[in-house]
Amino acid sequence: MAFEGLTEKLNKAFSKLKSRGKLSEADIKSAMREVKLALLEADVNFKIVKDFIKSVSEKSLGEQVMKSLTPGQQVIKIVNEEMVSLLGKNAAKLTLAPNPPTKIMVFGLQGTGKTTFCGKLAKMYVKQGKKVLLAACDIYRPAAAKQLEILAEKTKAEYYFESDSKPEIIAKNALKHAEKTFVDMVIFDTAGRLHIDDEMMGELSALNSSVKPNDKLLVVDAMTGQDAVSIAKTFGDTLDITGVVLTKMDGDSRGGAALSVRAVTGKPIMFAGIGEKLDDIEVFHPDRIASRILGMGDMITLIEKAEQAIDEEKAKELSKKLVKDSFTLEDFLDQMEQIKGMGSLGDILSMMPGGSKIDVGDVDERQMARTEAIIKSMTKEERTNPQVLNGSRRKRIAYGSGTSVSDVNRLLNQFNSMKKMMKQFSGKKGQMGKMPGMPFQ
């Protein structure tokens, strides 16, 4: 996960501060030295690190902090505030046109996930009830237009492309089509290159002048660290981009791009790509990202994901079943499907306070798959009424799921224990009915 290494090193530095009742100037200097090294190792721009450490140090050495009953916590609070400021303070929003269609132009080098991002953005706004048109303006890579067409079909967006036209003509005609068909938003997927060159920038500048988009988004790969920052600066200087999109934030990137782009370019990070699925896109909230980096979790985003993934009607029905003691393995399987819609267990843990300290290996996602396989190997009667599971049935289920009889027995025992526990909580304003099921371990 992005920031994982940085979070670990920062927590190590802060643990020394929190363990002391009083802080000396030497304590703060020592901690700031560790923070500086952690940021540099995360590939954050050197000048940004220097300014960041200077600002945090000056505020941490203030009289109010040094005389505080919890000086360590005060220093962490200052670091958090400075990090939020570095990332951009507030979440940036797209400029929606007062008279549709809103025009969004997307730039980026090849391999950054530019075309996939166009599909993700389209789906985000289609889910909000907007009519979206994806316009293929990349005439050089045949697969790009086809990929965009497939994404349009998957996201229920409209699609526009002309095989024998120049990008400017395609863009102008796409706009005419959008106005005629009352489209709310047009997303232009432009041509990329393996590297920045004058020909590409000239073409993109001409396209930009002809369309006059409401927003110009640059897609960069978070895995490339400082290269992403220099690419963003070049595009920003030439095309006056309005925002940056960081893709592959779910990878093992060190996080330097996220902490450097805003300060170097002066442009906000607007979205983050957090996976390969079309739903794997987040609005970039600086305060939430800073909280994740510092190991404080991000409960707001976690709640939002739960609200999107969990069916409210099913949650109410589940609550009633818990009260009536009629919760079955069929219900549990359904709950597992819903929690999978929130992302990987590693993602979910990273959003919980202190979750970053838990080794994801301890939460074995393969165990979740095994649990699912065992339940799916049962008949409907067996899922609904586990009491019928005698020895021969359990043996058949183990064989069908590729597990052992002891695995099946363990699941059933834990299911019964969980069922009792959930029933105890079910009467408390139905709160358990709102919680998705967790895999057995």
**4-20: pLDDT as tens digits:** 778 888 888 888 777 77
- Three-class DSSP category at 319: helix
- Classify domain 303-434 by CATH architecture: Orthogonal Bundle (1.10)
Number of Cβ atoms within 10 Å of the Cβ of 217: 24
CATH number of the 102-297 domain? 3.40.50.300
pLDDT at 250: 74
Q: Is 103 in contact with 126 (CB distance < 8 Å)?
A: no
pLDDT of 46 higher than 80: yes
Cis before 101 (ω within 30) = yes
Rounded to 10 degrees, the C-alpha dihedral 64/69/73/76 comes to: 20
> Would you say residue 255 has pLDDT above 90?
no
Cα separation values, 6 from 19, 230, 267, 270, Å: 20, 21, 23, 22
Give pLDDT, residue 432: 41
**Side chain identity at residue 72, one-letter code:** G
Average pLDDT over residues 164-183: 92
Three-state DSSP at 4 gives helix
Give the C-alpha separation, 55 to 229, whole Å.
22
| 102-297 shares the fold of 4-87 | no
Prediction pTM value:
0.69
- Residue spans of the domains in the chain: they are 4-87, 102-297, 303-434
The stretch 224-237 carries a mean pLDDT of 82
Which candidate, 285, 281, 309, 307, places its Cα nearest to that of 119? 281
- What rounded mean pLDDT belongs to the chain? 81
Residue 250, burial from CB neighbour count under 10 angstroms (0-12, 13-18, 19+): buried
Q: What is the pLDDT of residue 182?
A: 94
Residue 295: DSSP 8-state: T
Q: Over 60: is that where the pLDDT of 65 sits? A: yes
pLDDT-derived band of residue 431, with 50, 70 and 90 as boundaries? very low
**Residue found under tokens 């979910």:** 348
CATH homologous superfamily of domain 4-87? SRP54, nucleotide-binding domain (1.20.120.140)
CA distance 2 to 381: 44
pLDDT of 189 above 60: yes
